[in-house]
Structure 1
Amino acid sequence: MDVNKTVEILLVEDNDHDAEMALRSLKKNKISNKITRLKDGEEALEFLFGTGDFEGRSVHNQPRVILLDLKMPKVDGLEVLKAVRSNKDTENIPIVMLTSSKEERDVVEGYKLGVNSFIVKPVEFNSFMEAVKEIGFYWVILNELP
């Protein structure tokens, strides 16, 4: 992986099936070809801050949006969110939390930590594909970054 390539969407998802569906939807709808998928929160933090496996990556080349799973191994989505929001170089990156959790405490904590949007993953294939398409369209094409 070219660590300094332009990334518009950073997809952080440990479930291969969900990640594949999200990638297919984004590419099928021509939302972005500049997508990087990482499998856990630890990888996401290394990518965003140019450490570990991503040592030397320009931290000034940040994604336009992060699609972040909540429940992941190693470092969960809320921990990633907290780290991103507490760093001046990453604090303004829009973050959309994607999760299968409907627990109110997860939603409340996500918003307290500064998530931009909280989306419960639809279980049905076509609904999931449509949700990802709309998320990508809004955050990559319509949304204006600071």
Structure 2
Amino acid sequence: MSARKKSIVILIADDDAEDRMLLKEALEENRLKNTMQFVENGEELMDYLHNRGKYTDKDQYTTPGLILLDLNMPKKDGREALKEIKEDAHLRCIPVVVLTTSKAEEDILNTYDLGVSSFITKPVTFNSLVDTMKKLTQYWFDIVELPVIK
């Protein structure tokens, strides 16, 4: 893995504290060295991406190289946030992976229509989550070339 790929920040947008903790543990289980940042709703996600509010420190809250996005969040849901990200010329090239409990065909179709990079239904068991995160990190950090976004 190149030094550039190791430095990519993963931004995880999920309102469920337990899901955030499990995701962090599953990624750490896979010895992922990337910095992980967490937001709890779509409004916080957009504030982070635009360095607004409590996210003004650009050194601490750098532009992520990958966003893991839950769809069902308060204030602004993942669908609305995804639409805003993909309509923004500066943000649209950030890969967004939907990671949600939804299995609704409508959500799958709508998020791909909005420009999501991948749609993953959250695994039920921790071991399955670890396995899914292993595959996800192999794909996004070992196989594909991600753009450097500043």
SS state at 2:47 partner: helix
Instruction: Give the TM-score of the pair, scaled to structure 1.
Output: 0.88
Cα contact 2:30–2:134 (8 A) shared by 1 = yes
Cα contact 1:64–1:139 (8 A) shared by 2 = no
Distance across 2 between alignment mates of 1:86 and 1:110? 13
Matches within 5 A, 1:1-146: 8-57=9-58, 61-146=62-147
The alignment yields a C-alpha RMSD, in angstroms, of: 1.8
Gaps of 5+ in 1: 1-5
Gaps of 5+ in 2: 1-6
Deviation at 1:35, TM superposition (A): 0.7
User: CA-to-partner distance for each residue in 1:75-95, whole Å, 9 max, x for gaps?
Assistant: 111111111111111110000
User: CA-to-partner distance for each residue in 1:47-98, whole Å, 9 max, x for gaps?
Assistant: 001112223537x941110000010011111111111111111110000000
SS state at 2:116 partner: coil
Matched AA of 2:120: I
Cα contact 1:70–1:78 (8 A) shared by 2 = yes
Distance across 1 between alignment mates of 2:121 and 2:47? 26
Cα contact 1:47–1:57 (8 A) shared by 2 = no
Runs of 4+ that moved beyond 3 A: none
SS state at 1:17 partner: helix
Matched AA of 2:15: D
Cα contact 2:140–2:146 (8 A) shared by 1 = no
Deviation at 1:33, TM superposition (A): 3.6
Instruction: Give the TM-score of the pair, scaled to structure 2.
Output: 0.85
Distance across 2 between alignment mates of 1:133 and 1:38? 22
Distance across 2 between alignment mates of 1:103 and 1:35? 28
Cα contact 1:12–1:38 (8 A) shared by 2 = yes
Deviation at 1:7, TM superposition (A): 5.4
